[in-house]
Structure 1
Amino acid sequence: MNQSWDETWQRLAACADPRVDPNIFFPPAEAGRRGWDKPAKEICRTCMVIEPCFRMAVREGITEGIWGGLGGWERHRRGGPRPLHRRRPSTT
Structure 2
Amino acid sequence: MIDFDSFTVRLSRIEGKRRKEFGDLVKNTRRELNLNMNDLATRANISGELLLRIEAGLVSPDIPRIPERLLRAMEREVMVIA
Greater share of helix? 2
TM-score of the superposed pair, with normalisation by structure 1 = 0.26
Higher relative contact order (CA 8 A, sep 6+): 2
TM-score of the superposed pair, with normalisation by structure 2 = 0.28
